């Protein structure tokens, strides 16, 4: 046997071990605290300077900027240049990262700072050419408007220069790894063109119906048209003769939210307690951090106006001055047409027109890509517009689709905005509207002389043939535009006997109106609810208006729940015990979508599943995304079935009772999966909540920094006046009225407003998400134009000319 080796282990004494562990713990705590402190200080140094003085070489006179307790800047200047310079500077202080992303997205320049992941998106926006349209628009502006654009750009650039010099750019730029470039007047106009895109036309619906014509019978296709075309069979045959694979191109586009719209209404003094008009407006767009809207008050010797504007654009687009107030909703007209173009097989840059080959205009659009090579890209533009059917693939087809769209033409919306801001009465405001071309908007108006008015304003094309429901042949002149609806024949109302005017993206024209506007209007529920409430009162107060903007009564449910419950009674399907409990919920529901209610959770999924049962096995998911007006069409299918006119889709799916039963059980299972098997414990607000997501919160762990509060419960839905559209899978509210405003002419120096989630884009600002609670509970702050009010609890910054 060998010698035994004994290894003795030597241990530190117990006390010493604890000492070392204690020291290590303290060191780790100190390091962690240092990291947190360092991170905090790094974030803090980029906070906007909102008090004291800043010396700037560009301005000529002192400008006073007072941010009130809600972060609204009140800018007081002695001349126009300094006013708009200060507006650009101050907006950049709060929103420069948002502004930079906005101009890059609209220009197709995201890949330059993000990388190849946004290349398809950039190709799409380069193809559309919003920036090209902005460039083409610039020369149409007056010298005064150009001066405003330049002053604003100078202010933005002064901020960028100062922030770069002092290393105080917002932290988002550090995370993204780039710095903003110089701002130009074209950037502001491009952002304006993007808003026309966001509120654009209906070409995705045309693409959907084009696909359907290639794959389904006449009867099934025509039932999915918003209105039945007079020459339906002829239209479909023409589409089938010119086949293009939509799924390879347009079906991959990320379209704007179909429900981008708004509510607005104005009540005359005859129906108000004060005897003076009251106006309310709440535009519905995407909800995010920061808000799409930036509230501002600007004042100089020739203008005093307060309201909101898109960050990156000068002036005030929605608001009021000392004499008038105005608000908008989206008309949603057919201002986009897809043309089927025949390409020359021997020359892919030529397209047929009237029996001859025409050269397309070819625009080179090289796309810079972060950490990659510049991608060469060309856009072909026919007489109708850019070829949009190939931006995601390289196949050279004999047939292509081009897009004709009013927003791609030169236009002068900012000229109109400048005139709105100074208008004193309806005649001056109406004159300003002649410069507002796109997107077409429903304007409501009130003045301190008691006038209330409405106008559907913008360029709406008149077509030789067709109604924009499907793509049309581009090789003939039969389907060309013949101009626009004459300006003096656009729908207009002044001082109606009814005493109020309201719009909610609803049908705005009588059946005998001589011009085509669109076949696709919003579902009527918001407009009907507004009218019901305004008609129910003899004398209306400001409080009535505020409550109406946050009204959560669901008229769609009020219409269809009784129909569905009756269909369940007549169905041959076997109800489960949990189904019976859910039916009791519906029988006791008052149709108000309060955050504590249970029924909305099932109702909205019921409507979704009803459509799924009809279409999911036959229409591919990517094509279904193009299905414009699906809600209205399914609603009408149900009404028709109740009236004994059951259509082919419903009939082939088993009939009203069977589809109602299947979709009901699916909806109940959906609710069980998310909130358990006790319907009495289901809560709408636990599912339906608004996150106000920051663009960088999609990158973990940055979500903990930029969206630290988590989603907040929100009542209502996409069909209530308190609009809150949501993702059907997650329940997250992503769409609604980030800006709500009520103007009472009994006191024009103050207005009732809310901007969700807040004014600032800086995560450490007191104004970052300080209005979330107001926004989700129907509360408001007052914005004053009287200095004695807004400076009380405000923060004043003086912009001084540098010596």
Sign of torsion over alpha carbons 433, 438, 440, 444: negative
Q: How far apart are the first and last CA of the chain?
A: 98
Give me 528's structure tokens.
Answer: 């009907």
With contact defined as beta carbons under 8 Å apart, do 480 and 470 qualify? no
Q: How confident is the model at residue 18 (pLDDT cuts 50, 70, 90)?
A: low
User: Buried b vs exposed e over 12-42: b needs ≥16 C-beta within 10 Å?
Assistant: eeeeeeeeeeeeeeeeeeeeeeeeeeeeeee
How far apart are alpha carbons 80 and 91 in whole angstroms? 16
- Worst-scoring range by mean pLDDT, 80-84, 257-261, 475-479, 520-524? 257-261
- Which residues 6+ apart lie within 8 Å of 252 measured at CB? 120, 392, 622
Tell me which residue of 511, 629, 534 sits closest to 212, measured CA to CA. Answer: 629
Q: Is 337 annotated as a binding residue?
A: yes
Per domain, the residue ranges of the chain are 12-44, 555-591+598-682
Rounded average pLDDT over 515-537: 94
Q: Is 262 a catalytic residue?
A: yes
User: For the segment 418-436, what is each residue's pLDDT rounded down to a tens digit?
Assistant: 999 999 999 999 999 999 9
Give me 781's structure tokens.
Answer: 């702050």
Sign of torsion over alpha carbons 744, 745, 750, 756: positive
Q: Is 488 annotated as a binding residue?
A: no
Rounded average pLDDT over 493-517: 94
Rounded average pLDDT over 703-719: 92
Q: What is the pLDDT of residue 260?
A: 74
- Which residue is catalytic, options 46, 249, 262, 571? 262
- Which residues 6+ apart lie within 8 Å of 760 measured at CB? 48, 71, 94, 95, 290, 766, 767, 768
Q: What is the pLDDT of residue 502?
A: 97
Q: How confident is the model at residue 19 (pLDDT cuts 50, 70, 90)?
A: low
Beta bridge partners of 380: 362
Q: What is the pLDDT of residue 40?
A: 66
Indicate whether 394 pLDDT > 50: no
Q: How confident is the model at residue 203 (pLDDT cuts 50, 70, 90)?
A: confident
**Residue 288 CB coordination number (10 Å):** 18
- Worst-scoring range by mean pLDDT, 223-237, 510-524, 551-565, 594-608? 223-237
DSSP label at residue 665 = H
Q: What is the pLDDT of residue 1?
A: 44
Q: How confident is the model at residue 107 (pLDDT cuts 50, 70, 90)?
A: very high
């Amino acid at each position: 046997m060998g010698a035994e080796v004994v290894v003795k282990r030597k241990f530190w004494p117990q006390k010493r071990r604890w000492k070392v562990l204690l020291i290590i713990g303290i060191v780790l705590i100190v390091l962690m605290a240092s990291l947190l402190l360092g991170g905090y200080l790094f974030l803090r140094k980029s906070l906007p300077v909102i008090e004291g003085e800043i010396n700037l070489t560009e301005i000529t006179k002192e400008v006073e900027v007072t941010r009130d307790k809600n972060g609204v800047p009140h800018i007081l200047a002695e001349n126009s240049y300094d006013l708009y310079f200060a507006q650009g500077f101050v907006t950049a202080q709060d929103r420069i990262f948002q502004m930079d992303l906005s101009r890059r997205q609209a220009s197709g320049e995201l890949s330059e700072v993000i990388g190849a992941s946004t290349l398809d998106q950039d190709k799409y926006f380069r193809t559309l050419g919003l920036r090209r349209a902005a460039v083409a628009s610039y020369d149409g502006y007056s010298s005064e408007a150009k001066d405003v654009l330049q002053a604003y750009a100078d202010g933005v650039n002064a901020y960028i220069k100062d922030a770069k010099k002092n290393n105080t750019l917002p932290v988002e730029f550090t995370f993204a790894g780039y710095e903003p470039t110089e701002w130009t007047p074209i950037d502001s106009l491009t952002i304006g063109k993007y808003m026309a895109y966001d509120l654009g036309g209906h070409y995705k619906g045309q693409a959907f119906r084009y696909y359907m014509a290639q794959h389904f019978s006449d009867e099934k296709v025509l039932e999915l048209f918003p209105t039945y075309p007079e020459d339906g069979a002829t239209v479909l045959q023409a589409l089938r003769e010119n086949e293009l694979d939509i799924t390879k191109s347009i079906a991959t586009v990320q379209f704007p939210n179909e429900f981008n719209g708004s509510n607005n209404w104005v009540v005359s003094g005859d129906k108000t307690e004060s005897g003076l008009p009251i106006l309310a407006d709440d535009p519905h767009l995407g909800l995010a951090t920061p808000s799409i809207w930036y509230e501002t008050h600007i004042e100089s010797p020739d203008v005093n106006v307060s309201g909101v504007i898109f960050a990156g654009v000068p002036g005030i687009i929605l608001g009021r001055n000392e004499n008038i107030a105005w608000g908008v909703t989206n008309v949603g007209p057919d201002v986009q047409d897809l043309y089927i173009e025949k390409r020359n097989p021997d020359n892919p840059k030529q397209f047929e027109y009237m029996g001859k080959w025409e050269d397309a205009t070819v625009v080179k659009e090289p796309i810079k890509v972060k950490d990659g090579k510049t991608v060469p890209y060309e856009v072909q533009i026919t007489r109708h517009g850019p070829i949009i059917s190939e931006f995601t693939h390289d196949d050279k087809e004999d047939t292509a689709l081009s897009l004709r769209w009013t927003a791609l033409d030169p236009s002068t919306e900012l000229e109109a905005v400048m005139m709105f801001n100074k208008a004193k009465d309806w005649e001056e405001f109406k004159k300003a509207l002649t410069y507002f071309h796109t997107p077409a908007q429903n304007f409501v108006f009130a003045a301190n002389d008691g006038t209330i008015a409405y106008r559907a304003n913008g360029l709406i094309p008149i077509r030789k043939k067709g109604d924009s429901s499907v793509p049309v042949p581009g090789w003939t002149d039969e389907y060309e535009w013949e101009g626009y609806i004459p300006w003096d024949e656009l729908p207009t109302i002044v001082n109606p006997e009814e005493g109020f005017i309201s719009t909610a993206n609803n049908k705005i024209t009588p059946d005998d109106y001589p011009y085509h506007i669109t076949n696709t209007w919003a579902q009527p529920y918001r407009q009907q609810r507004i009218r019901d409430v305004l008609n129910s009162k003899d004398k209306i107060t400001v409080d009535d208006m505020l409550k109406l903007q946050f009204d959560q009564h669901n008229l769609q449910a009020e219409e269809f729940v009784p129909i569905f419950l009756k269909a369940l009674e007549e169905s041959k399907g076997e109800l489960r015990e949990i189904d019976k409990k859910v039916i009791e919920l519906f029988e006791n529901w008052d149709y108000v979508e309060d955050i504590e209610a249970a029924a909305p959770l099932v109702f909205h999924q019921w409507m979704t599943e009803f459509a799924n049962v009809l279409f999911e096995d036959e229409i591919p998911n990517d094509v279904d995304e193009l299905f414009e007006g699906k809600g209205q069409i399914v609603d009408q299918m149900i009404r028709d079935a109740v009236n004994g006119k059951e259509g082919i889709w419903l009939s082939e799916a088993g009939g009203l009772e069977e589809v109602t039963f299947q979709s009901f059980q699916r909806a109940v299972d959906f609710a069980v999966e998310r909130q358990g098997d006790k319907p009495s414990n289901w809560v709408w607000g636990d599912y339906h909540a608004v996150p106000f997501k920051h663009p960088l919160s999609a990158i973990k762990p940055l979500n903990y920094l930029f969206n630290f509060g988590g989603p907040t419960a929100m009542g209502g839905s996409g069909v209530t006046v308190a609009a809150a559209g949501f993702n059907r899978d997650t329940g997250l509210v992503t769409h609604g009225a980030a800006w709500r405003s009520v103007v009472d002419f009994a006191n024009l120096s103050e207005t009732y407003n809310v901007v969700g989630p807040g004014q600032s884009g800086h995560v450490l600002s007191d104004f970052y998400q300080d209005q979330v609670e107001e926004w989700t509970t129907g509360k408001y702050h007052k914005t004053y134009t009287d200095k004695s009010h807004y400076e009380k609890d405000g923060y004043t910054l003086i912009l001084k000319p540098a010596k």
